[in-house]
Structure 1
Amino acid sequence: MTDTSTETAVRFRSDMTVELVKHNAADSDVLWAARVSTAGEQSIDELAKDPERSKGLINFLMRDRHGSPFEHNSMTFLISAPIFVFREFMRHRVGWSYNEESGRYRELQPVFYVPDESRKLVQEGRPGKYVFVEGTPAQQELTGRVMQDSYRQAYEAYQEMLAAGVAREVARSVLPVGLYSSMYATCNARSLMHFIGLRTQHELAKVPSFPQREIEMVGEKMEAEWAKLMPLTHAAFNANGRIAP
């Protein structure tokens, strides 16, 4: 993580923040939802049973892509990330609800994204068949310096417009997509699996994905929280190629 303060109070970060703030999610939710098809109202008895005894059913549902039983749960995350991450994030619409910080109603804080040394900077190859490789020390220095200078200038322009009485919703136009924002994102396990399948890379994935690293960082943190809530479902997801049912 990089977090540098300057005399103008502009701050720079390289990390993403994900906090699970509310949830109603357990492996047993999958079981009672699935068994209503054969047990009717008696399926509610699954709530009192150990889900471990029925992990084979969870694996069957995942393997044969019976997806709806994985929707009867809920997780709400508070996420802090650059705006460009949220623009990719909100392409996921089915099974998601979002509420984001608004530049119309509050003065946006001067916190901006600058990649740290672990971020691969150079793209090699043609579209559809490219890889990212490490940047040179000179490229790392250039990236950090240019981004920080640009951010400072943009935020100074924003402050100048606000001081002159320009409305926040107009003044925000000068701010770049590297500005950090915050949002609540609510989903169920099925919609989260779709997100993780597309936005993370993993050795067990049957279908490869090539996400931007910054949104992958968010996906990894969300997956870690979900895995603690629904360990059998998460294990079945991995065992079946990380393809959402």
Structure 2
Amino acid sequence: MPLTPDQQAEVDAQRAQAQPTLRAVSPGMEKHLYTAIPVLDHGFVRVIDYMGDDAAICQAARVSYGKGTKSVQNDEGLIRYLMRHWHSTPFEMCEVKLHVKLPVFVARQWIRHRTANVNEYSARYSILDREFYIPAPEHLAAQSVVNNQGRGAALEGEEAARVLEILKTDANRAYDHYEAMISQEGQLGLARELARMNLPANIYTQWYWKVDLHNLLHFLRLRADAHAQYEIRVYADAICNVVADWVPFAYKAFEDYRMGGATISATALDCVRRMLKGEEVTQENSGMSKGEWREFMDTLG
């Protein structure tokens, strides 16, 4: 379970402490505050704090007072204009702080996005729990034959069972040794900062991750994409649902222009124009490499 009974009681207590405020609040985000959204087998995402809403984006763009000088319809239109023309600063006026529990190997992918403030649970001071990510059988897959960083067909039968048993056995053996090394019963015990080196990459860690909306949307564009690794994509999907409730106008524009839209090269745009004129365009006469042409065809559907 992602949360223990004690942790759930703490969440309930936090949600019970309502405070009056003069700052702008997002009703959609308020319902998410402190609540843990389960991800994977032991992980979660929860909102600890946030600042701003759709109106804050418009306010920053217009540098105006209060909730803005235009109607709600114009606010949505302005946000779509800002997203369409890649204006980033107004979206940076909104921020969110998340508490995330995730496997270490997912955290190492996540931390490559160097545009956030992060504070991670320290295994130098504390003892990590015996919690490991063990994939569901349907997520065990062979190496892709066309993508060096992707998956192919799912493993089945005895091979899948053997791999799952190896993952479980190795993780628990490493944790047994970790406990044995740090124990102070009849020995000095190895320092926690050294003992942690023996733990596997599928053990869970936790961190607070604070980021502005502009950089969060960039993270989501990459990690909620169908080509992203499953284990980080499910976290991104959970965050997408939160953002959709927090800033609905901005998220809808993001879906249209970033997730659902496409950016093509000048060469590809020329090919589209030639196609519209009735010309037969092939990879050989397109000016594109085979890889570029394949991606172009995928974009056109």
Higher strand share: 1
1:227 matched to 2:232? The reply is no
- The amino acid across from 1:125 in the alignment is V
Instruction: Report what 1:54 is aligned to.
Output: 75
Residue deviations 1:122-161 (CA, integer Å, cap 9, x gap) = 2221445855322213232122210110011101111111
CA distance 1:52–1:185, change in 2 (3 Å): farther
Q: Which whole-Å CA distance do the structure 2 matches of 1:139 and 1:24 have between them? A: 49
Instruction: Report what 2:48 is aligned to.
Output: 21
Q: Which whole-Å CA distance do the structure 1 matches of 2:168 and 2:130 have between them? A: 11
CA distance 1:221–1:56, change in 2 (3 Å): same
Residue deviations 1:215-241 (CA, integer Å, cap 9, x gap) = 111111111111100000000001113
Partners of 2:62 and 2:68 within 8 A in 1: no
Partners of 2:140 and 2:160 within 8 A in 1: no
CA distance 1:68–1:169, change in 2 (3 Å): same
Number of equivalenced pairs: 220
Q: Which whole-Å CA distance do the structure 2 matches of 1:91 and 1:190 have between them? A: 16
Q: Which whole-Å CA distance do the structure 2 matches of 1:226 and 1:50 have between them? A: 22
Partners of 1:27 and 1:51 within 8 A in 2: no
1:177 matched to 2:201? The reply is yes
Q: Which whole-Å CA distance do the structure 1 matches of 2:72 and 2:246 have between them? A: 12
Q: Which whole-Å CA distance do the structure 2 matches of 1:128 and 1:166 have between them? A: 39
Question: Matched residues, percent identical?
Answer: 28
CA distance 1:97–1:91, change in 2 (3 Å): same
1:198 matched to 2:215? The reply is no
Superposition deviation, residue 24 in structure 1: 1.4
Instruction: Report what 1:140 is aligned to.
Output: 160
Instruction: Report what 2:234 is aligned to.
Output: 217
- The amino acid across from 1:75 in the alignment is V
For the residue of structure 1 that corresponds to 2:254, the secondary structure is helix
Instruction: Report what 1:106 is aligned to.
Output: 126
Superposition deviation, residue 86 in structure 1: 0.6
Instruction: Report what 2:66 is aligned to.
Output: 45
Q: Which runs of 4+ in 1 moved over 4 A?
A: 47-50, 128-131
1:153 matched to 2:173? The reply is yes
Q: Which whole-Å CA distance do the structure 1 matches of 2:138 and 2:52 have between them? A: 34
- The amino acid across from 1:60 in the alignment is Y
TM-score by length of 2: 0.68
Measured on the aligned residues, the alpha-carbon RMSD in Å equals 2.3
CA distance 1:128–1:56, change in 2 (3 Å): farther
Q: Which has the larger radius of gyration?
A: 2
